[in-house]
């Protein structure tokens, strides 16, 4: 079992996710991350089927320096009535330079007859001919038995014949595919065990998540004897996605003790998951098992009290094993233990300071009652705590005298906003004006312009997300508004919160906190 294949198909099957569009450079960058993670195989795409994948394999030969993984090319069995040696798409697999070829083949009798529109015998010959040809060309061959579980339910004997045909022709692995994602773990386990008994194949598993069971189905297949697991980073894939390979590998390695990737590499899982999210431009899923930002986040005061005694009491494993960390969320559910642990996380030893802990806790509960949310705005809470612990003046980089915003719309032209900000920074009174495509954008520009002479470090900061929540919709346009702003310095990001009856005032609060926290984080002294 320690020889279990970890096979990633993010670049091919994962790229079929709605709204996900990868350039060749994106795919090369992701492949490098996957290699760093330590997966055994990286499926690069379908050379010959589209120019992008053909270019990927051409560039990969010169630009990818894989240390751990083997690159695999994906393709299909030869066309009906032809022969593999003359099929241009099969030839493209050889020309790709990949040492491993993964073929997709029909194993569902209904698909053979209605989709391929050929005979069951011809489909088996297509499998034999294509696998044999590729083996003769010196390629290792894996075969994806498409729609296998559904085909097995319709015609078990034919599904097994498809597996045998591939193995007899020289396929190393036959991956049983739950292409429609409709299977449950007990069904997968029963079928895998039966196919192992009936054939001499080394079996793999390829699951989609349409029942929410892709990871569980992959685990069930391994329990039943499969020694090749396919999946995608972050569970990318069409419809509801594929099995999340990071979760599957973490489960098998941490919970079952299987040595799939080197331990130091698994500790990079969180960083790599988030790096790939940046490349795909798909926001990280905070509740993703193991590597999500919330995977080891604790909010309830009761949990915090227990974690203070022993972190394992409310955590299923050590988050550092996957490069993640425990986080304490501060909210109206917090107790003094939550504040103390959060303070420790931020570098403050508050143990025994009951008066301060009570004061901070009272302030947090009061602010959350008014609509603030600190579990979603760690940076604003850190500023609050720092002001209580260190003192109000320690991080007062500037004093706001006033601000205003004017929005001007003329005819059918886009409205333009202009903001004026008056501050005292670095001992100087500064008046600055900024324009933007909205009032918040204009305020952001004006504030930076006002502060940059005293604090040039702000040039690196960028507002990257802006979210608004109406807290009391029954009041209509008179409702209280909560604004969350995410700011980045190019290497990391933080969230701040503002709450007010006026959406611009709430935005201003969050903006000021975001800028202030950026200066604190950079270690900039008050000038």
Torsion angle, CA of 410/416/421/426, rounded to 10 degrees?
Answer: -140
Q: Which residue has the tokens 């045909």?
A: 165
Of the three residues 322, 350, 369, the one that is the final residue of a domain is 369
Q: Does 116 fall in a domain?
A: yes
pTM reported for the whole predicted model: 0.70
Do 122 and 178 reside in the same domain of the chain? yes
Q: Does 517 fall in a domain?
A: no
**pLDDT for position 197:** 95
Gyration radius from the chain CA atoms? 28
Number of domains observed in the structure of the chain: 3
Mean pLDDT of all residues in 118-125: 95
Q: Does 391 fall in a domain?
A: no
Do 33 and 99 reside in the same domain of the chain? yes
- Domain range for 224 is 5-280
Comparison of pLDDT for 20 and 412, the residue scoring more: 20
The Cα–Cα gap between 283 and 263 comes to 26
Query: Which backbone phi and psi does 491 adopt, to 5 degrees?
Result: -120, -25
Q: Does 505 fall in a domain?
A: no
pLDDT tens digits for range 148-188: 999 999 999 999 999 999 999 999 999 999 999 999 999 99
Q: Which residue has the tokens 């559904």?
A: 150
Q: Which of 9-13, 316-320, 410-414 has the lowest mean pLDDT?
A: 410-414
Do 250 and 115 reside in the same domain of the chain? yes
**pLDDT for position 502:** 87
Do 251 and 334 reside in the same domain of the chain? no
Torsion angle, CA of 314/361/393/441, rounded to 10 degrees?
Answer: 70
Do 360 and 402 reside in the same domain of the chain? no
Do 361 and 404 reside in the same domain of the chain? no
The Cα–Cα gap between 391 and 161 comes to 76
pLDDT tens digits for range 341-353: 767 766 777 777 7
- By the 8 A CB rule, do 352 and 346 touch? no
Do 55 and 18 reside in the same domain of the chain? yes
Q: Does 434 fall in a domain?
A: yes
The Cα–Cα gap between 202 and 171 comes to 9
Q: Which residue has the tokens 């719309």?
A: 409
Cβ within 8 Å of residue 13, ≥6 positions away: 43, 230, 232, 236, 237, 238, 242
**pLDDT for position 301:** 47
The number of CA neighbours under 13 Å toward the Cβ of 466 is 15
Q: Which residue has the tokens 């045998």?
A: 164
Which of 2-11, 166-175, 316-325, 508-517 shows the highest mean pLDDT? Answer: 166-175
Q: Does 473 fall in a domain?
A: no
Q: Determine how β-strand 203-207 pairs with β-strand 228-231.
A: parallel
Look at residues 16, 74, 61, 72 and name the one whose alpha carbon lies nearest to residue 39: 72
Mean pLDDT of all residues in 84-95: 95
- By the 8 A CB rule, do 142 and 170 touch? no
Of the three residues 369, 385, 414, the one that is the final residue of a domain is 369
CATH number, residue 427:
3.30.160.270
Q: Does 374 fall in a domain?
A: no
- By the 8 A CB rule, do 395 and 520 touch? yes
Q: How many helices (H) and strands (E) does the chain have?
A: 18, 16
Do 36 and 103 reside in the same domain of the chain? yes
Q: How high does pLDDT run on average in the chain? A: 87
Mean pLDDT of all residues in 22-41: 93
**pLDDT for position 121:** 95
Which of 25-34, 255-264, 454-463 shows the highest mean pLDDT? Answer: 25-34
Do 364 and 403 reside in the same domain of the chain? no
Do 321 and 441 reside in the same domain of the chain? no
Do 191 and 336 reside in the same domain of the chain? no
Q: Does 461 fall in a domain?
A: no
Do 37 and 117 reside in the same domain of the chain? yes
CA-based torsion, 130, 28, 217, 196: positive or negative: positive
**pLDDT for position 302:** 46
Mean pLDDT of all residues in 388-405: 82
CATH number, residue 103:
3.20.20.70
3-state class (DSSP) for residue 417 = strand
Look at residues 173, 250, 195 and name the one whose alpha carbon lies nearest to residue 218: 250
Of the three residues 280, 305, 320, the one that is the final residue of a domain is 280
pLDDT of 481 over the 80 cut: yes
């Amino acid at each position: 079992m320690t020889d279990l294949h970890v096979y990633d198909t993010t670049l091919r099957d994962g790229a079929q996710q709605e709204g996900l569009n990868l350039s060749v450079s994106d795919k090369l960058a992701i492949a490098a991350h996957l290699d760093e993670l330590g997966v055994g195989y990286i499926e690069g795409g379908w050379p010959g089927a589209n120019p992008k994948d053909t270019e990927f394999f051409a560039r990969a030969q010169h630009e990818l320096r894989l240390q751990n993984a083997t690159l695999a090319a994906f393709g299909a069995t030869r066309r009906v009535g032809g022969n593999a040696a003359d099929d241009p798409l099969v030839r493209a697999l050889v020309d790709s330079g990949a040492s491993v070829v993964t073929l997709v083949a029909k194993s569902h009798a209904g698909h053979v007859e209605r989709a391929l529109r050929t005979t069951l015998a011809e489909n088996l010959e297509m499998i034999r001919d294509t696998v044999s040809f590729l083996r003769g060309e010196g390629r290792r061959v894996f075969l994806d038995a498409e729609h296998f579980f559904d085909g097995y339910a319709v015609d078990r004997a034919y599904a097994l014949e498809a597996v045998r045909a591939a193995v007899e022709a020289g396929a190393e692995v036959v991956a049983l595919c739950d292409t429609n994602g409709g299977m449950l773990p007990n069904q997968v386990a029963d079928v895998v065990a039966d196919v192992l008994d009936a054939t001499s194949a080394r079996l793999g598993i390829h699951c989609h998540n349409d029942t929410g069971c892709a990871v569980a189905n992959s685990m069930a297949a391994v329990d039943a004897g499969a020694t090749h697991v396919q999946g995608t980073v972050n569970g990318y894939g069409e419809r509801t996605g594929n099995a999340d390979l990071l979760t599957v590998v973490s489960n098998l390695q941490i919970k079952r003790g299987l040595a799939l990737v080197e331990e130091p590499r698994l500790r990079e899982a969180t960083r790599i998951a988030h790096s790939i999210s940046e490349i795909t431009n798909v926001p990280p899923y905070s509740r993703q098992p193991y590597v999500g930002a919330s995977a080891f986040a604790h909010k309830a005061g009761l949990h915090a009290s227990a974690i203070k005694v022993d972190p394992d009491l409310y955590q299923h494993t050590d988050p550092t094993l996957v490069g993640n960390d425990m986080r304490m969320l501060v909210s109206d559910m917090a107790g003094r233990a939550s504040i103390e642990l959060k303070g420790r996380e931020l570098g403050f030893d508050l143990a025994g300071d009951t008066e301060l802990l009570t004061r901070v806790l009272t302030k947090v509960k009061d602010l959350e009652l008014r609509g603030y949310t600190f579990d979603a705005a760690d940076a604003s809470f850190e500023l609050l705590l720092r002001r209580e612990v260190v003192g109000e003046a320690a991080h007062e980089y500037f004093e706001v005298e006033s601000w205003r915003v004017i929005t001007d719309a003329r005819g059918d032209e886009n409205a333009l906003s202009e903001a004026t900000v008056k501050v005292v920074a670095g001992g100087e009174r500064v008046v600055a004006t900024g324009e933007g495509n909205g009032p918040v954008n204009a305020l952001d520009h004006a504030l930076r312009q006002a502060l940059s002479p005293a604090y040039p470090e702000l040039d690196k900061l960028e507002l990257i997300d802006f979210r608004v929540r109406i807290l009391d919709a029954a009041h209509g346009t008179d409702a209280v508004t909560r604004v969350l702003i995410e700011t980045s310095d190019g290497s990391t990001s933080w969230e701040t919160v503002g709450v007010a009856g006026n959406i611009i005032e709430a935005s201003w609060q969050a903006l000021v906190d975001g800028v202030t926290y950026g200066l604190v984080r950079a270690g900039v002294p008050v000038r």
